[in-house]
Amino acid sequence: MSESTRAHHVGITVSDLDRCLGFYRDVLGLPVLDRFTVSGEAFATAVGIEGATGRFVHLDADGARVELVSYDPAGEERSRERVDQPGASHLGLAVEDVAAFYADLPDDVETVSEPRTTETGSTILFVRDPEGNLVELIEA
C-alpha cells in the first residue's frame, strides 16, 4: 500500500533571509514555526549544489507551510518581473478585506497595482517581497 501525495510546503528561495522574514512575519502576519540550517554531503547532493548549506525559516499560513530558504553558495538571480513568464511563481494568501490590507501596507512595500476586482468577482492585490517575489492577496 502506498501513501497518497499531499502538500507539505511552498518554498521561496531568497538571498537575505532575515530581511525577507521580516516581510512575511511582520507585514503579512505569518507566525514562525521553525528556523534551522541544513548542510552536509547528503543535503548538497539532494539539492544538486556542491558544498551547499541552506538556512530555513518555516512560517504558518493558516495550515499551509511557507518555507523561506537562503543558500550558500548562492545561485545567480533570475528574472521575476512578470507573472506571465514561464517558470514564474507566486504565493497566494487569503485575507478578509484586500482594500483594508492594502491601506495598512507600509509605504516601502511595492505593489503591482491597487486592489482590483476581476470579472469573476474576486478582489486581488499583488505585492512584492523585499527581493521581488510576487505574493497575491485574495479576498476570501
Helices (H), the chain: 17-22, 41-47, 98-103
CATH number, domain 90-139, options 3.10.180.10, 3.20.20.10, 3.10.20.30, 3.50.50.60: 3.10.180.10
pLDDT of residue 62: 94
3-class SS at 26?
helix
Domain chopping of the chain, boundaries? 10-72, 90-139
- CATH fold group of domain 10-72: 2,3-Dihydroxybiphenyl 1,2-Dioxygenase; domain 1 (3.10.180)
- Which pLDDT value is given to residue 1? 47
| Residue-level pLDDT at 130 | 95
Please list the rounded mean pLDDT of every run of 10 residues in the chain (140 residues). 73 94 97 95 88 94 94 76 71 94 96 92 93 90
How high is the pLDDT of residue 79? Answer: 62
Dist CA 120 CA 109 (whole Å):
27
pTM passes above 0.75:
yes
pLDDT reported for residue 8: 80
**Measuring CA to CA, which residue among 74, 83, 80 is closest to residue 14?**
74
Euclidean distance between CA atoms 27 and 19, whole angstroms: 11
